[in-house]
């Protein structure tokens, strides 16, 4: 877990640095983000498929639902807070 956390933090910091460096440039990122998202979902599925027993499938579904709903809720709350509503 600790080793993976380092990789996540490095990816976050790298993304932050790239975002700061290219802040004033008009770079179309929609297609790139879509492709990266598809790869991320694909490899997440491969990772889950390699480490998952069929008995754990329902737990993964519940956790995925909770994660998705939490992400949507906090995104909504954050956007409302940023607009001042």
SS (H, E, C) the chain: CHHHHHHHHHHHHHHHHHHHHCCCCCCCCHHHHHHHHHHHHHHHHHHHHHHCCHHHHHHHHHHHHHHHHHHHHHHHHHHHHHHCC
Average pLDDT, the chain: 82
What pLDDT shows up at residue 60?
A: 76
pTM: predicted TM-score of the whole model, two decimal places: 0.45
Domain contains 62: yes
Domain contains 63: yes
What pLDDT shows up at residue 53?
A: 76
What pLDDT shows up at residue 72?
A: 92
What pLDDT shows up at residue 64?
A: 84
Range of the domain at 77: 26-84
What pLDDT shows up at residue 69?
A: 93
Domain contains 18: no
Number of domains in the chain: 1
| 1 has a pLDDT exceeding 60 | no
């Amino acid at each position: 877990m600790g080793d993976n956390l380092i990789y996540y933090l490095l990816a976050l910091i790298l993304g932050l640095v790239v975002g700061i460096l290219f802040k004033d440039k008009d770079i179309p990122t929609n297609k790139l983000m879509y492709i990266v998202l598809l790869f991320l979902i694909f490899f997440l599925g491969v990772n889950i498929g390699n480490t998952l027993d069929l008995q754990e499938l329902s737990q993964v579904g519940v956790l995925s639902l909770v994660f998705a709903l939490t992400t949507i809720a906090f995104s909504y709350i954050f956007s409302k807070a940023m607009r001042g509503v």
